[in-house]
Structure 1
Amino acid sequence: MRLVLASASPSRRMILEAAGVEPVTHPADVDEEAIQASLAGAPPADVVAALAAAKAEVVAPSYPSDVVVGCDSMLLLDGQLQGKPHTVEATVERWRAQAGKTAELLTGHCIIHGEQRVVETRRTTVSFAEASENDIAAYARSGEPLECAGAFTLEALGGWFIDRIEGDPSSVIGLSLPLLRRALYGFGLDASSFWTR
């Protein structure tokens, strides 16, 4: 039995590899904007859970005997969900808006094993530093935050600009190991059975 990651995220893969798992990577092709539009007005936690579920459900039929994990992360800042900024300019604007503030990083998870599934959203509070304009510009130009929810990483250059988190650190990086462990136990599986070292 294998663990299949329905994502191209290097951060999610890194979490699993550091935890002893060599996942099968099968990025899901879903229309995230259409899903979000269909859920206009829904609670933010439901939106990220629906995105995660869509990804896992697209990939799961190809792996009927394995465990498929779909995730999606967004930052809830001032009541608005923020996804990936994609450009240097958008990253600078995001950081100007979030520097010195506290926000919630929401990570939706959908874990499927056969007919069994767990869908849950983890919330982690993130306190952003009062980063200087020069550092914001340099961080944006580095390219690192362009494809990251909330325009930041915790585990690399972005770590300079995160003053505090309250909650599950692995969830902020993109995949909650505690949630995954509990899901596996609920399926009657052991986490250690997926370890490759």
Structure 2
Amino acid sequence: MLELDGEILGKPYEPEVAIERWKAMRGRSGVLHSGHWVRMLGEALPGEGVAESGDVSSTIVHFANVTDQEIADYVATGEPLHVAGAFTIDGFGGPFISGIEGDHHGVLGLSLPLLRLILGRLGVSWTSLWNR
């Protein structure tokens, strides 16, 4: 989800909502929050055979000062309708993101550094997952 002016914004779903959101975001910054949760199941785990942990990756996203036409054209692609904050950094929306502060993996949707930390809390070494 995207936090802008203390308000939480999810997926816009409708083109009109995406257009208004982009008009509010352009030339400004917001914080993208991406939640992560890992649940491990197995007989070797204590108690009920379940271990779980989670956390949130938060990254400041700086939006370019895009024109009304650029907003309309971007929304017309359909890409921003089904993504948190009405933007992607790895698609058509990438050129409209002028910078980020923090974990770029979290902006893509899966924070690998945070996932490594969560797995570590659960006793799983990141490198043990490598296929050697």
Higher gyration radius (CA): 2
Secondary structure of the residue aligned to 1:119 is: strand
Aligned mate of 1:84, from 4, 8, 11: 11
Shift of 1:120: 1.1
Write the letter of the residue equivalent to 1:188: G
Give the whole-Å Cα distance in 1 for the aligned partners of 2:105 and 2:69: 28
TM, length-normalised to structure 2: 0.87
What stretches of structure 1 of length at least 5 have no aligned partner? 1-73
Give the whole-Å Cα distance in 1 for the aligned partners of 2:26 and 2:120: 39
Write the letter of the residue equivalent to 1:190: S
Shift of 1:195: 4.4
Q: Does 2:47 align with 1:112?
A: no
Deviations 1:23-50 (A, max 9, x none): xxxxxxxxxxxxxxxxxxxxxxxxxxxx
Greater share of helix: 1
For the aligned residue pairs, the C-alpha RMSD in angstroms reads 1.5
Q: Does 2:64 align with 1:129?
A: yes
Query: Is the 2:11–2:82 contact (alpha carbons within 8 Å) kept by the matching residues of 1?
Result: yes
* Matching of residues 1-197 of structure 1 within 5 Å: 74-114=1-41, 115-195=50-130
Shift of 1:104: 0.5
Give the whole-Å Cα distance in 2 for the aligned partners of 1:134 and 1:194: 46
Secondary structure of the residue aligned to 1:84 is: coil
TM, length-normalised to structure 1: 0.59
Give the whole-Å Cα distance in 1 for the aligned partners of 2:97 and 2:75: 15
Kindly, what percent of the aligned residue pairs are identical? 44
Larger RCO (CA within 8 A; separation ≥ 6): 2
> Residue 44 of structure 2 corresponds to which residue in structure 1?
none
Aligned residue-pair number: 124
Question: Any runs of at least 4 consecutive aligned residues in structure 1 with deviations exceeding 4 A, and if so which?
Answer: none
Shift of 1:193: 4.2
